[in-house]
Amino acid sequence: MDNLLHAFALALRNIKRAPLPYLLTVLILSLGLGMFFSNATLYYWLNHDPLPQKSHSLFYPQINSVLQPCDSCTEPMRVLSYQDVQKLSSSGIPSAQAAMFQSAGYARLPGNSDVSPTPVRLRVTQRDFFTLFDVPFLHGERWADDTARRELILSKASAERFFGRSNVVGETLRLGNELFTISGVLQDWEMLPRLYDVANGLNSARSADIYLPWETAFDLGIKSNTTTMSRDERDYSDNFAVNGREGQFYQAQFWVQLDSPQQVTAYQQFMQQLVHSEKEAGRHPRPEANRLTNILDITEHFNARNRQLDAFALVSLLFLLVCLFNASHLSLNRYLASQYEFGLRRALGCSRSQLQQLILADVAVSAALALFLSLAVAAAAMSLIASLLPATRNLTSWNPLMVLTMAGTALIACYLVTLYPALRASFGSLNRQLK
Amino acid sequence: MSLTLLFKSLLQRKVITALLLVQLTLTLALLSNSVLLSSQAYQLSNQPTGLQLDTTLAIELKPTDENLIVHPALGDLIQRQLAALRQIGGVRHAAFSNQTPLLFGGMNGNVYVEGKQDTTNIEMVPYNFAEAELFDTLQMTLLHGRWLSAEDKNTDNVVITDKLAKQLFSDSHLAIGQQTNGGNIVGVVADMMYQRFASDQYFGLFFNRDLNRADYGYRLLLQVEPQAVAAVRQQIYDSLRQVEPEIDIQQVVSLRQLHRDYFEQERGLAILLSVLSGLMLVVAMISAYSHALFHGVQQQNEIGVKRALGASKQRILVEVLSESWLTTGIGAALGLLASYLLQQQLATVISLPALPLWLPLCGALTLLLCVTIATWYPAAIATRVSPATATKAL
């Protein structure tokens, strides 16, 4: 213990004796680590698996169902129509399945007609949405079935915003001109990246305030406020309850849970049979182009990766490398400046392991300082990124795992940049060192 | 100053020289490609828009009462709102549309020449509701035919942008009178930057029809006297609320702000890369400074001897600087090669133009300048070594 304290005392004395080279080394390391980790945090949030326990079982099915003939159209639509959802839901194979889309509306308490309504983010969906993505309930429960019903599920924040408390099951809320009963309140829940809506570029957007039943939305003419496409001549601003259900109006995402490879194969076969029977009935004029994409591949599938952030990540990784080489160079200079002292210690009987101990103490002090400074650099870089790229604002929060990784990397980086000087100190010619 | 001696001096410190070279090589490669990415982003955000960015205001709004979302109540509401806005001093023109220019996405449809769908189909073209006054509100330029009038209301007549006309008919004047799936073309206007995710950001199609439902809200556009922009913006909320309180005014923005948002990602990335480039140069300078300072101290005796043998201070200064210049020169030569390799790697991830030779060359010169500045002070210290020091050492 005394030896260890002595080693740390010596490390601190070394810093005091020549603070500038030491601080420059730590500063360069911190710049590299800080810039790299600010970017790595962004990259982590954009690319990590939000549902590690079940992501392997979540799939997005697509069929090339547009009724306009086109032989060269070999990619299915990114979004599905009501008819597509009906057909793809009819297999009975998935453990859970839900169609959905994002919309927006205005909500207010029934008695507050004088107060301006509050804009709210809506997710129109089916009951299995909450099973598919493991959405936790705080109060109440999901809808009993997928039929139309005037029941809403609220996020905890929305319940507190409208009612001042979270347990509001059974209360009523006006959405647009319609009155709804609240059947459930969710716990605080965010899924980042929001892979279930990545086709619309919403992977870093906030979750919905209010969840509305799928069939009810069609009854009320509520449409998606993201990608919608129509491929026929119907007027979708009129009688949407019928036109939206019967026409070629594409706006929905559809997810299925297939727990085993057998289920996946069975569902693929079901899609094939479905398309063949549709072709026989003359309702599938385009080439067969069935897709069943796992949730972890969905960003690539929709070409929704932020390539510019990828490029920036590569550049910041190379910047870290530059900083490591630079710090190694400075560290070697520092060693060469004090090689006489190392030689003297060895001449006085200091063993190689004792020398290593001194160097490791130096590494530990450097790593602690570098970590502290690089956290400051990373925080500054992240606030700069958040202000310059507002779309990534939700992706810049600290993650304990990332901070731990950063601490580990700082330690390894400090050791690496000291490794060669340490070897020269321990194994170099004693005569030369003393000379 | 012998080049051979300089090389020998560098080879005496192989590891340090190698580390320095790797670092200089990577720095130049990163610097060149960061500047390339930044300049690409800068060029993108400085494309012509065909719009009066500072004097055009866009109001995004949506009725909160669902009875007002549908025609004819909706049409009546819009006309009352436009009338109120025209009363504000400084407002030159006011018009309604379903969407403004400079958006990422919006209402799009495919366009093709009737009977030639296979050869002329264009997938994503912005479909814009347009009344007569939209022409003056957006300060459009008519190239061929005519703009839409009140008589065109709910007819098949459409106006398209120049670039769309050229895409469909190869020459825009040939478009007049042609029938497309979107309608009969009666005019062609100069290009305006409309939607980022359209097939081309200068494509646009305009028609004069009633908006049946405003599920996605609608936009009111104002052309304002330059000196009255701020005053008009302040009065918009009150003016619209007086017309109808059951309305959500989502935002009032100038097209300049929309243009900033439109290229936010590119601009943000350009600034980030510029910051990173600056940091790289700082790191290179720290490295050069510390290298020169350390070796100045190490070579104190040698310098002293040279001074004793008659070397002038200038000669010592040039000698120390020459070593930095040689290292930087070798690093820059390697960096030139690394710049092209990195550009090839980046081009596999993002769309990136070819790296022009002048860019890494300018980068190398900048690096040389930074290294010279950083080395100057340690070199100046080295020149102060007295010949007596050498005598003592001997």
Amino acid at A176: G
Examine the pLDDT at B151 and tell me if it is beyond 60. yes
Q: Which residues share a beta bridge with A254?
A: A99
**Residues 236-255 in B contacting A (C-alpha not used; CB under 8 Å):** 245, 248, 250
Q: Give the pLDDT confidence of A304-352 residue by residue, as tens digits.
A: 887 778 888 888 888 898 888 888 878 877 777 777 777 777 778 777 7
In the predicted model, what is the mean pLDDT of residues B325-342? Answer: 92
Q: Is B264 within 8 Å of A390 when comparing Cβ atoms? A: yes
- More reliable by pLDDT, B82 or B5: B82
Residues with Cβ < 8 Å from A239, sequence gap 6 or more?
none
pLDDT digits (tens, 9 = 90+) for B65-113: 888 988 899 999 999 999 999 999 999 999 999 999 998 878 888 899 9
Alpha helical stretches, state H, A192-231: 214-220
d(CA B75, CA B71): 6
Q: How far is CA B66 from CA A105, A261, B132, in A?
A: 10, 47, 27
Q: Is A102 in a helix, a strand, or coil?
A: strand
From B23, B37, B342, residue closest to A329, measured CB to CB: B23
SS3 content of chain B, % helix, strand, coil (to 5): 55, 15, 25
Higher per-residue confidence, B294 vs B183: B183
Is some CB atom of chain A closer than 8 A to the CB atom of B93? no
Asked whether the predicted pLDDT for residue A184 surpasses 90, the reply is yes
Q: Does A321 touch chain B (CB under 8 A)?
A: yes
pLDDT at residue B393 above 60? no
A399 touches chain B (CB under 8 A): no
Residue B8: pLDDT band by 50, 70, 90 thresholds? confident
| Domain edges within chain B | 3-46+265-393, 56-262
Cβ-contact A382, A36 below 8 angstroms: no
- Percent of chain B's residues with pLDDT above 70: 98
Residue B394 pLDDT > 60, yes or no? no
Write out residues 233-262 of A within 8 Å (CB-CB) of B: 235, 237-238
pLDDT, tens only, B30-70: 889 888 888 887 888 889 999 999 999 999 999 988 889 88
Cβ A206 vs Cβ A190: under 8 Å: yes
**What's the pLDDT score for residue B1?**
58
pLDDT at B392: 60
* pLDDT on residue A432: 66
Using a CB–CB cutoff of 8 Å, tell me whether A116 touches chain B. yes
pLDDT tens, residue by residue, B182-196? 999 999 999 999 988
Whole-number Cα distances in Å, A305 to A39, A129, B265, B349, B351: 15, 24, 14, 10, 13
pLDDT at position B197: 80
Rounded Cα–Cα distance for residues A129 and A191 (Å):
13
Per-residue three-class SS string for A248-304: CEEEEEEEEECCCHHHHHHHHHHHHHHHHHHHHCCCCCCCCCCEEEEHHHHHHHCCC
Binary contact (B297, A314; C-beta < 8 A) = no
Tell me, what's the pLDDT at B111? 92
Distance from C-alpha of A74 to C-alpha of A368, rounded to nearest angstrom: 56
| Res A212 pLDDT > 90 | yes
* B127 in Cβ contact with B103 (< 8 Å): no
Q: What is the pLDDT at residue A366?
A: 82
Q: Strand pairing partners for B251?
A: B60
Residue B242, pLDDT above cutoff 60: yes
Query: What average pLDDT does the structure give for chain A?
Result: 88
Determine the average pLDDT of the residues in B10-35.
84
Please name the residue that has the structure tokens 């509520």: A222
The answer on pLDDT for B290 being more than 90 is no
- Among the residue ranges A3-12, A38-47, A77-86, B260-269, the one predicted with the least confidence is A3-12
Q: Encode pLDDT of A63-76 as tens digits.
A: 999 888 888 888 89
Residues 6+ away with beta carbon under 8 Å from A190: A206, A207, A394
For A121, A200, A381, B117, B272, the CA distances from A81, given in Å and listed in that order, are 21, 15, 43, 24, 41
Q: B219 with B132: CB under 8 angstroms?
A: no
Residues of B49-85 as b/e, b for ≥16 C-beta within 10 angstroms?
A: bbbbbebbbbbbbbbbbbebbbeeebeebbeebbebb
Report CA dihedral (B34, B38, B41, B42) to the nearest 10 degrees. Answer: -170
The alpha carbon of residue B209 is apart from the nearest alpha carbon of chain A, in Å, by 14
Compute the distance between CA of residue A227 and CA of residue B314 in angstroms, rounded to an integer.
70
The size of the A-B interface in CB pairs under 8 A is: 136
Nearest-by-CA chain B residue for A106? B64
Instruction: Give the separation between CA A126 and CA A91, rounded to whole angstroms.
Output: 16
**Least confident stretch, A297-301, A398-402, B374-378:** A398-402
Domains of chain A, by residue range, sit at: 2-49+307-434, 64-289
Q: A176 to chain B: which residues are within 8 Å by CB?
A: 66
Q: How far apart are CA A387 and CA A384, in angstroms?
A: 5
Helix (H, G, I), strand (E, B) or coil at B268: helix
Mean pLDDT throughout B1-12? 75
Q: Which of B102, B67, B80 is nearest to B214 (CA)?
A: B67
What residues have CB less than 8 Å from A80, skipping those under 6 apart? A62, A65, A88, A99, A250, A251, A252, A253, A254
End-to-end CA distance of chain A: 33
Between B95 and B375, name the one with better pLDDT: B95
Closest C-alpha to B194, from B269, B272, B58, B99 = B99
Per-residue pLDDT at A229:
83
Residue-wise pLDDT for A232-274, tens only, equals: 888 888 899 999 999 999 999 999 999 999 999 999 999 999 9
